[in-house]
Amino acid sequence: MIAPITGFSKLTKNKKIEWLVDTYFLNDTTAINTLKKYWNSDEALQKLHDEFIENTITNFYLPLGVAPNFLINDQLYAIPMAIEESSVVAAASKAAKFWLTRGGFKATVINTEKVGQVHFMYFGNTEKLKAYFEHIKPQLIEATSHITQNMKKRGGGITEIELRDKTKQLDGYFQLHCTFETVDSMGANFINSCLEQFAKTFESAAKSYGLFSEKEKEIQIVMSILSNYVPNCLVRAEVSCPVSSLTENESIDANEFAEKFVRAIQIAKTEPYRAVTHNKGIMNGIDAVVLATGNDFRAIEAGVHAYASKDGTYSSLTHAEATNGIFKFWIEIPLSLGTVGGLTSLHPLVKIALQMLGKPSAKELMQIVAVAGLAQNFAAIRSLVTTGIQKGHMKMHLINILNQLEASEDEKAYFVNFFKDKTVTHSAVVNAFTAYKKEHAS
């Protein structure tokens, strides 16, 4: 049985690795060598990465790819994407190339409102609490002036504070529902600092509020935290073209393609089992750009999937129609992003990714990310209703299978050519590779 360790965080990186290898890898030097192989030879750069998180032992690499030819609001972009899944970058690039000659993507930021809440318990007279809130509200704003002054200079700050009665859901539960504008920063630290100050002021001032009884003065703050659900931090991205120019696939008529495409979206709107996979494909594109630009993809995922359920059933994030000979495909999605602060000013590759995008504002990045999700979904649906998803995906996955089989570069080249006109499956590649090795055995 493995014994607990104390003081692990105080060990050097080498000592941490020694303990891990001794405890979990039976002193396997291969594990040590692999972990250290991923250290950066530039000591300053490695130290920077070590300090991003706690108990660092090595770096975990993901490929950083580029999807070129994205025409967004008449401006051409090459979009950086950090992801490990085969065919995602290829699919995005293919969709970008398709829409490049059909007017490109149009994107609009609808709103940029961020949300945070102070959750508290109060068991007194609700009308007294409402009166207290109106009394204290200006003081809440004033108490955060030292936090908001720089944000105000950039055009941001606190936009509203509301008292919300949630006692029907939970006895005694109320909240201060607060909204913010954080301009080009994602704003998590700013919002949380404001909320914690709201909570202190709200709780302490209650003790001297004359209309409260002694019991009512005991407001209990439970927690103060931003919300990653930002349904009013919305961006819309869309494409449209005549149905007659919609398909490049000679095996399917343009009208038939449009009908099947729209039907596929309708299915994702009505069937949650399909909607989850449908939206996962959208997030392939979104997460890859969010990660490449140093933003929080977990927060984005949580907020997006909550938004997909806003009408009571989990549903498609994208929409499509073919009316009067015009095909239209669009997405409206909540994205809370930043281009200053956090990793955006620390991670060298994030800096390059943002520079590649022309050093966008947060609003511009929202548009780019939404377009990446829409493009990914277009590519996936187009494959699904024509050739099927596996043909393209498994062609891209072929190299991964060959790498698992430890194929040489010459063998990889041979099998890429060999499977040009064949269906790629894991078993088919293994069987063909095994036969090839037998045939070429010395």
Q: 407: Cβ–Cβ under 8 A, 6 or more apart, which residues? A: 415, 433
Q: Which residue has the tokens 């590519």?
A: 379
**Measured distance CA(272)–CA(355) in Å, rounded:** 38
Question: How far is residue 232's CA from residue 180's CA, in Å, rounded to a whole number?
Answer: 11
Active site residues: 85, 280, 296, 393
3-state secondary structure 333-354: EECCCCCECHHHHCCHHHHHHH
Looking at residue 366, its amino acid is M
Asked if 118 contacts 198 with a C-beta cutoff of 8 angstroms, the reply is yes
